[in-house]
Structure 1
Amino acid sequence: MGLRGSKLPEANVILLGLDNAGKSTLLYRLKHNASASTVPTIGFNVAMLEAKKNRKNIAVTMWDVGGQDKMREHWKSFHQDAAAVVFVVDSSDRARMEEARRELEVTLRSEQLKGRSLILIANKQDVNGALTTTEIKDTFHLRKICSDRDWYVQPCSATTGFGVEEAFRRVVQLAKLPSESGAMKENIKDTVHYLKSTRRR
């Protein structure tokens, strides 16, 4: 039975990061457990995966959005309904760390991503000279920029498969399903407020 036929709780997860960070390779590895040589993503790739959260099956839709400069202005179109943000960093590309940090900071300022968990994937750990997760935490000032959300840094190599399964497990664990998110509570609060105000009239 495919995912289409089932009405599992759904989590939309956005996969962001600079071009050449390894997002598409990571997605391919998650879906097929194999390595693939990919070309830069123009637009986006999408994959649906099944997972277990709190002992229940859920459907996770991963949106891998292109990371080139001209694509980044479109990232915000994917913010709405995101259950978590996965930001992939090429740990071996020290020259672009600052650029990656700036893009992540801009993304996390989005009103639509308020309170959403961040899973930062420190990819390409198999490359000599790659920054460690501690160095990446410090470089990205994660304690400061993620003070109002859950976050986690996962070392990984999308080409060898190291850390990929753990990364996905962490994403599932930290993703906010619609039923768990504050949006639902807010709607209920608004409805209650509206009912009270109409009663007064």
Structure 2
Amino acid sequence: MGLLFAKLMTIFGDRDHKVILVGLDNAGKTTILYQFLTKEAVQTAPTIGSNVEEITIQKTRFLVWDIGGQESLRATWNSYYCNTEIVILVVDSTDRERLTVTKEELHRMLAHEDLQNASVLVLANKQDMKNSMSAAEISHFLTLTSLTAHSWHVQGCCALTGEGLPASLEWMRARVLAS
């Protein structure tokens, strides 16, 4: 009986959970993606289009789409929304000038019908930098408490060292296991 159940789980139990990784250009999205994957900082270039990688955390598989954040590419983000379970928004915690743009993009995204059931993970990147905003400041500025239809979490992190990223992966895993 146990062997049969194990075989059924391998056939039906495992599946990829779709995640989109978005944020303005230079926020650290690609560095975070490869930190998730290799646990090392890698040299990156601006993403034109998207990168996709599979990340497995304790037998939970995430298919993570890293989408370019340049202004000209943001209009294409919605083509990635279908079947997305988690939206990871990467915020450059030192970029106070563009936080309003980040907020507008987040709220525009979450109004899309394909993301109505998606959870939101905000990664407050570059916490190692002088004068970076705290995760709480970013949460307040992005008005995350108004996101009553979405479960959300803010995690301070540093893409270069990986600090804060294991906790964010655990939050993602808990979200998909709860649904």
> Could you say whether these structures have the same fold, taking a TM-score greater than 0.5 normalized by the shorter chain as the test?
yes
Residue 92 of structure 1 is aligned with which of 91, 94, 99?
A: 94
Unmatched 5+ stretches in structure 1? 1-5, 181-201
TM-score relative to the length of structure 1: 0.80
Counterpart for residue 156 of structure 2: 155
Counterpart for residue 109 of structure 1: 111
Counterpart for residue 175 of structure 2: 174
Counterpart for residue 7 of structure 2: none
Q: Which has the larger radius of gyration?
A: 1
Counterpart for residue 165 of structure 1: 166
Counterpart contact for 2:57–2:169, Cα < 8 Å: no
Shift of 1:149: 1.2
Q: Secondary structure at the match of 1:82?
A: coil
Counterpart contact for 1:86–1:171, Cα < 8 Å: no
CA distance in 2, matches of 1:176, 1:110: 24
CA distance in 1, matches of 2:134, 2:98: 15
Counterpart for residue 22 of structure 1: 28
Aligned length: 168
Counterpart for residue 42 of structure 2: 36
1:24 aligned partner, one-letter code: T
CA distance in 1, matches of 2:158, 2:176: 22
Q: List structure 1 segments (4+ residues) > 2 angstroms apart after TM superposition.
A: none
* Greater mean alpha carbon deviation, residues 113-122 or residues 166-175: 166-175
Within 5 A, what are the aligned runs for 1:51-130? 51-52=57-58, 57-130=59-132
Matched-pair identity in %: 35
Counterpart contact for 2:85–2:117, Cα < 8 Å: no
CA distance in 2, matches of 1:15, 1:124: 16
Counterpart for residue 4 of structure 2: none
TM-score relative to the length of structure 2: 0.89
